[in-house]
Amino acid sequence: MPQLDLGNCCIGAAYFDYLLFIALDAVSGFRAKRINDRALTFHLGNDIAWSSQIDYIEHNLAESLGAIQRMHKHFDVPMDSNFARMEHSQFLPHARIDSRLLRKLKRVPGIGPLALRVKRWLGKSH
């Protein structure tokens, strides 16, 4: 546990689970595996209200990016590792300026709840 760098991420908010997984991958010598064909967790209902909690999302993304930078200093991250794949698919795209601007737009009164209603109407789970 002391080797895991999770920054000050909030458990239960976006990005925490991904950061935990890549931190586990790093401390295991990049041997962590994903089990995609088993339902090991569950949610009661399919409410995506968490996606409107932009303050927690922004906080966890910033904390995750900081932890990733620190882990890069301590570990030689293989390009074919789960760490590298998740960094490039989950974290770096959301750190881009266009993604940051879209999240800022959700802070405009009425836009966040509207985006949530649209996601629910479309049946999106995220």
Upper half-sphere CA count for residue 58 (Cβ side, 13 Å): 13
pLDDT (0 to 100) of residue 24: 96
pLDDT (0 to 100) of residue 6: 96
Please give the C-alpha separations between residue 79 and each of 4, 55, 84, 88, 104, in angstroms, as whole numbers: 20, 31, 6, 10, 32
pLDDT means per 10 residues, the chain with 126 residues, are: 91 90 96 82 61 82 96 96 95 84 78 77 67
Q: Are the C-beta atoms of 78 and 84 separated by less than 8 Å? A: yes
Q: Are the C-beta atoms of 115 and 50 separated by less than 8 Å? A: no
pTM of the entire structure?
Answer: 0.76
